[in-house]
Amino acid sequence: MNLSNLKPATGSVKNSKRIGRGTGSGRGGTSTRGHKGAGSRSGHKTKIGFEGGQMPLQRRVPKVGFKPINRTEYVGVNLDVLQSLADKFSLTTIDFAALQEHGLASKNDLVKILGRGEVKAKLDITAHAFSATAQKAIEAAGGSIVKL
């Protein structure tokens, strides 16, 4: 085998359909453009999504919901997750660096502590935001919160 007898696999290379090459080609005459009308003329373009005057899809589909541009997105971390983290690694203070280290947040995230579960240990927790139930549960267990 050398470069002179290399061939592509059979069926992998096809010739493109050559349009407008006479009636014998089967694609001559009007060259697949039909008769008259704007579509048969050169330079004709239709708008993307145009459906021939039918109400277009982007106008038929109902518009639902609203997301404000300046909304602050938080990564939620629940109390039961924090309690298991404290038990597993014997932590008393949980800050943003600890959450990052254990894969609960990345460096550009804002963290909000949520109230699912319960806290048994006295924990000092530092985060960007706290839900009211989480704040009560942490303080009831003797811990403290610090907002970043």
124: CATH? 3.100.10.10
20-49: per-residue pLDDT in tens? Answer: 999 998 999 999 999 999 999 999 998 998
The yes-or-no verdict on residue 80 having pLDDT over 90 is yes
Task: Tell me, yes or no, whether 134 lies in a domain.
Answer: yes
Task: Tell me, yes or no, whether 36 lies in a domain.
Answer: no
In the chain, how many domains are there? 1
Task: Tell me, yes or no, whether 1 lies in a domain.
Answer: no
Express as a percent the part of the chain with pLDDT over 90.
78
d(CA 102, CA 91): 12
Q: In which domain, by residue range, is 93 found?
A: 74-147
Residue 144 has a pLDDT of: 92
d(CA 79, CA 81): 5
CA 121 to chain centre: 37
Task: Tell me, yes or no, whether 101 lies in a domain.
Answer: yes
Task: Tell me, yes or no, whether 25 lies in a domain.
Answer: no
- The amino acid present at 137, given as its one-letter code, is A
